[in-house]
Structure 1
Amino acid sequence: MTSIKSLTLQLQQQFLADRSTASIPLFSECLEKCATQVIRDPSLRSELGSYTPFWQQTCQCLDNLRDELAQDQDDETIRALLVDNLRLARNIVANDAINQATAVASGISSHIENMLAWCLLENIPENRPVTRMGVQALCNMVTGNPKQQSILWTVWMNDSGYSALFTKMLLTSDHVTLMSTLVLMLNCIRNDSDRCRMLIESQTGKVILNCLLKNAELVLDDQNTQNFELIFAIFEQLVENGLFSKAFKRFESNGGAALTSNQTILLKLYDSALHRHQSRISLNQSDEKLLIITLRDTCALAVEALRKLPNVSTSALGSGDSSVEKNVTEPSASSDDQDNVRMTVEDTANAYTGVILLLQMIGTVTVDSRSSGELKNVLISSGCLKACLDLLAQAERKIPRITKSMGDIVSDTDTSKGSMGFMYIKRDIVRLIGALTYHDRRIQDEVRELGGIGLVLSQCNIDDANPYVKEHAVLAMRNLLENNLENQAIVEQLSPQESVPHPVLEEIGLKTELRDGQVNIKR
């Protein structure tokens, strides 16, 4: 035996046998020296790490030190000794499969977990070095070792008692502990569909996902850590293993009607994943159907939110497009139905954000040809295309066009200002229609039958609340009319219905009037 190994084991035994006679400074010094040497000396690391009594004694030391620290939380000597024991354990198992297996078999992970639970429950800032070292030790026990990952991850996911521990680890204010926890989780699920599925399906996994989603927005702008990137990497593993739909459904509201905040965050992460990996990630049919159904239902919620606002000046949809009036109409609702609808500010904000994200995602995969052949079938059969056109019609009634001359534009997420909180709705619906109708006669006809041609044509105006909506509308009209005589006939029959005042002209004292089918300008 090497001298440092013998001394370490001897001091452990002395500490456990009689605390009063043990030399704490010597024990601490020995642990620090040994933790440094095992990094440089593989033979020492192998000798000590594969020696089961070492792990058994370390487990006892951790328990005793935790108990002593609980009795006297100001004892920095005990706290330092606890960190020294954890550091040695962490270094011994680093990149050594045999040592990792011996450590896990000894049950030291449960002793570390108990220590972490106590430290995080007390939430004492001085305990942060202990929690950091404890999580890092757990992380090193599974890094690069699928067998040990499977053993520990299965225990954690199948025992609901671990929900509280992971909640504390993930919601800690210490960004280093959080980072180590995220690395631990990523190591366990990376490239393993079974462990990813455990994260989605287990009760502990749902708690973990909830914490991750809360953290995602909190750490997004933190430039000092990589915590958001780690959360995103965990989410990417779920997407790449086809588990987005299951994760999304786990956070449905009780009624299942409105988008929840967690679902909105999931959509944001999914949208980012699609843009970051344009050539690798495609929507599977399960995800496509889920997103389309969600878009349909969320459009209905957005329509409900807009319906309560006053109408703006009617746009000239054109008398020839009778199907506009027939098919795209303001939804009617009885007074009883209206009384039953209670959309909160959060519901409205989630509906707005959800619609925009869903329109952009479906539009993106359609343009990039990453969608399956079933996407358009589901869009039509589910009523999603009709719901989008209904929303566009409602937005046309309720949301005024904005030009910069009208003053500063409010924030695009400010739903407290009524219709002004629904910026980009028109643009993104028109963009999606343009993508769907490209060289697709069936969708061209469907839009016509749903009364959408006049709606799209009416978007050929500058609107600073919907940047580039005019350009998207022109492209959509081109795709709608291409080789489609029926659609072309609809446009030919259109005629202006009224003159709508324009704020830019009004500012310089000019007015518009409709005379004999022609728009004239006068002072």
Structure 2
Amino acid sequence: MDVTDAIITALRQLSEALEDVQRLQSCVGTLNEGYKTIGQVPAARRVYWRISAFSYGKLNTSYAHSIRHDFVERAPISSLTVAWQAYAERFDVQGLGISTESLEAGLALARLTRNCLAGSHEAKALVSGSEPYIRRAVFQATSFGAIKEERFFPLLRALLQSIANLIAPVDRDNSELLLTGSLIRLYFQEEVRTDQIVLRALDSDDAQVNLSVLMIVLNALKVDPSLIRTLANVQGTRTMAKILDKMTRWSESVSETLEGRCFDLGYQISAYIISSPVQMSLFNTLGSDEEVITPSQLMFLKLLDGYLQSATSAPSSSIDIPEVAYLVPHLNAAATFAAPNLKALLESGQDREPAASQDPILPRTLEASILLCQCLIAAALREIPVQHERELLAQSIAGLDQPAGNTLSSLRKAGQATVENLIGLLGALEAALPRQKPLRPATESSPGRSLQAFATLKRDVVQLLGLIAYHDKHSQDRIREAAGIHLILSLCVVDEHNPLIREHALLTIRNLMTNNPENQAVIGTMDPIGMVGPNGELQEMPVKRG
């Protein structure tokens, strides 16, 4: 039997069951008219659209739900399984010799299956027998050149949407979890190629296909939260890396577009991981020995930064700040890579856009450094104890250790040399990105012109150093010994490219001097080079006369 005939026969059996449902008497005539030409695919399509109009709830939600319930109760669902088996056995894209009629018949079958499954626990139990054949069809639609051929896109979308509805949580009872849990484990393992529908479908360039496969991932996480651990291990990282790489492209899209919706779903998936203990495992697994920061890690940092900013702006009890102390070694690696490369770039005189754009590693590392600093700053600010300043000062004078969270403790750890690395990076940034004075625009020959997009990194490094030094004498001393005081003092001026850097530099100097006579003495021995004007700007010293 031809695949199209098999599907039409199955649809006919389904429609005969629907004729027994009293609520569908009004459409029996339409169904019968459609089947007068049973051998024609358009007839099957008309029958499908009539059925799907009810099953999708286009008339009245409660009425449509009742019809779908009766459909599930009375229809010979085994016919649907027979149809899927016939389709899967004959659907072979090798050579891409698939007719348009076969694709349209498969599309009708997939849409009917998808619509029957929507919100129906009973349908899920009955349709589960068709799942292996649907999965087999997905494998074919993502094979060879089919994944790139537009004529396969509608079928692949409907197939993936059927699977998304099949595993979507409805009742959350034990039987449902047992049914969907085993399927979810199949989709995210890498032992059998034909089961890797998520990984394979992510190769598609079609936004709606991507949206459908992301819904599978999100529904799977809702049903089985333990899947987070699978996504963070070596095997699951391939799936997350593909999602993150695509999110880099989707991040510029408007929310209302398909690409924007894909980004929103990708963020929801990432938020599951960010708020879980496996965050560190995923970030480290996304890395590479050949790169300081990979593109996938960079995208993850952007999502983590957005999550932390949402958490810090929300009430303290509404969103928990995830543990991010594991980022400190990555910040050290980025700083030790960027500092010498910035100096080498400046010394070579090749700091304009064409030369700088030849190697994407340095710009990516600088962008990652900004995100790493901002993530660590957000976490450190939550860890600083909210106490009266005089109480903190009294504890510091008494020699009592100040309480610190994991992030601040990791940043202050001498063995990691974070303080020294940050000061080295700050010095390289100051040389490569000199401040822009007010009303003095940069010229084409200005040093570091092509790197001005990363100028705010100076401000972030200064702020992070200020948090590290906050009521911690050991860190204050290390900053002084690394010649950081003079460097930070030089930033207490207005910089057009760096809003608020002066304010952060002044706060850091204040934290360095708090209960630290040695640092106070260093600043006291300096000759004044200017005076603070009425607007807070550092101005030149007046010339002495006579």
Same fold, TM-score > 0.5, yes or no: yes
Contact 2:476–2:512 under 8 Å retained in 1: yes
Aligned to 1:36: 53
Q: Distance in 1 between matches of 2:152 and 2:359?
A: 40
Q: Distance in 1 between matches of 2:216 and 2:366?
A: 35
Contact 1:158–1:202 under 8 Å retained in 2: no
Contact 1:8–1:31 under 8 Å retained in 2: no
1:133 aligns with 2:171: no
Q: Distance in 2 between matches of 1:109 and 1:416?
A: 56
Q: Distance in 2 between matches of 1:42 and 1:304?
A: 67
Aligned to 1:447: 479
Aligned-residue offset at 1:212 = 0.9
Query: Aligned letter for 1:365?
Result: A
Contact 1:121–1:168 under 8 Å retained in 2: no
Aligned to 2:122: 98
Q: RMSD in angstroms over aligned alpha carbons?
A: 3.6
Q: Distance in 2 between matches of 1:78 and 1:162?
A: 21
Aligned-residue offset at 1:237 = 0.7
**CA distance change for structure 1 residues 30 and 296 in 2, over 3 Å: closer, same or farther?**
same
Greater RCO (CA < 8 Å, at least 6 residues apart)? 1
**CA distance change for structure 1 residues 38 and 267 in 2, over 3 Å: closer, same or farther?**
closer
Aligned to 1:434: 466
Q: Distance in 1 between matches of 2:97 and 2:17?
A: 25
Aligned-residue offset at 1:487 = 1.9
Percent identity reads 21
Q: Distance in 2 between matches of 1:79 and 1:418?
A: 51
Secondary structure of the structure 1 residue equivalent to 2:226 = helix
Aligned-residue offset at 1:308 = 1.1
**CA distance change for structure 1 residues 159 and 416 in 2, over 3 Å: closer, same or farther?**
farther
2:320 to 277, 281, 285: 281
Aligned to 1:175: 207
5 Å-filtered alignment, 1:455-466, equals 455-466=487-498
**CA distance change for structure 1 residues 191 and 246 in 2, over 3 Å: closer, same or farther?**
farther
Aligned to 1:238: 273
Aligned-residue offset at 1:38 = 4.0
5 Å-filtered alignment, 1:220-259, equals 220-223=251-254, 224-225=257-258, 226-255=261-290, 258-259=292-293
Q: TM-score, normalised by structure 2?
A: 0.74
For structure 1, the 5+ residue unaligned runs are 11-19, 313-342, 499-510, 513-517
**CA distance change for structure 1 residues 128 and 419 in 2, over 3 Å: closer, same or farther?**
closer
Q: Distance in 2 between matches of 1:402 and 1:141?
A: 59
Q: How many residues align?
A: 455
5 Å-filtered alignment, 1:367-386, equals 367-369=381-383, 373-381=405-413, 382-386=416-420
1:402 to 416, 436, 443: 436
Contact 1:166–1:208 under 8 Å retained in 2: yes
Q: Distance in 2 between matches of 1:68 and 1:352?
A: 46
Secondary structure of the structure 2 residue equivalent to 1:406 = coil
5 Å-filtered alignment, 1:107-118, equals 107-118=132-143
**CA distance change for structure 1 residues 122 and 353 in 2, over 3 Å: closer, same or farther?**
closer
Task: Provide Cα deviations, 1:271-311, integer angstroms capped at 9, x if missing partner.
Answer: 11111233413132xx31x2111111111111111221447
2:330 to 291, 294, 306: 294
Aligned-residue offset at 1:419 = 5.4
5 Å-filtered alignment, 1:138-157, equals 138-144=163-169, 145-157=176-188
Aligned-residue offset at 1:469 = 1.0
Contact 1:345–1:416 under 8 Å retained in 2: no
Q: TM-score, normalised by structure 1?
A: 0.77
1:262 aligns with 2:286: no
Q: Distance in 1 between matches of 2:51 and 2:13?
A: 6
1:88 to 109, 112, 118: 112
Q: Distance in 2 between matches of 1:58 and 1:370?
A: 64
Contact 1:311–1:397 under 8 Å retained in 2: no
Q: Distance in 1 between matches of 2:179 and 2:479?
A: 56
Aligned to 1:208: 239
Query: Aligned letter for 1:453?
Result: I
Q: Distance in 1 between matches of 2:182 and 2:331?
A: 40
**CA distance change for structure 1 residues 119 and 102 in 2, over 3 Å: closer, same or farther?**
farther
**CA distance change for structure 1 residues 69 and 443 in 2, over 3 Å: closer, same or farther?**
closer
1:66 to 91, 110, 124: 91
Aligned-residue offset at 1:480 = 1.9
Aligned-residue offset at 1:163 = 8.6
**CA distance change for structure 1 residues 453 and 214 in 2, over 3 Å: closer, same or farther?**
same
Aligned to 1:353: 367
Contact 1:409–1:465 under 8 Å retained in 2: no
Q: Indicate the larger mover: 27-36 or 292-301.
A: 27-36
Query: Aligned letter for 1:45?
Result: F
Aligned to 2:394: none
Q: Indicate the larger mover: 191-200 or 113-122.
A: 113-122
Query: Aligned letter for 1:468?
Result: L
Task: Provide Cα deviations, 1:224-267, integer angstroms capped at 9, x if missing partner.
Answer: 13111111111111111222211111122234x62122211111
Task: Provide Cα deviations, 1:168-202, integer angstroms capped at 9, x if missing partner.
Answer: 52242322221111111111113744211112215
Query: Aligned letter for 2:280?
Result: S
**CA distance change for structure 1 residues 234 and 434 in 2, over 3 Å: closer, same or farther?**
same
**CA distance change for structure 1 residues 159 and 466 in 2, over 3 Å: closer, same or farther?**
same
1:304 aligns with 2:340: yes
Q: Distance in 1 between matches of 2:104 and 2:437?
A: 64
Q: Distance in 1 between matches of 2:163 and 2:86?
A: 17
Task: Provide Cα deviations, 1:322-346, integer angstroms capped at 9, x if missing partner.
Answer: xxxxxxxxxxxxxxxxxxxxx9722
Q: Distance in 1 between matches of 2:168 and 2:384?
A: 34
Aligned to 2:72: 46
Q: Distance in 2 between matches of 1:358 and 1:76?
A: 51
Contact 1:431–1:473 under 8 Å retained in 2: yes
Aligned to 2:24: none
Aligned to 1:391: 425
Q: Distance in 1 between matches of 2:93 and 2:368?
A: 52
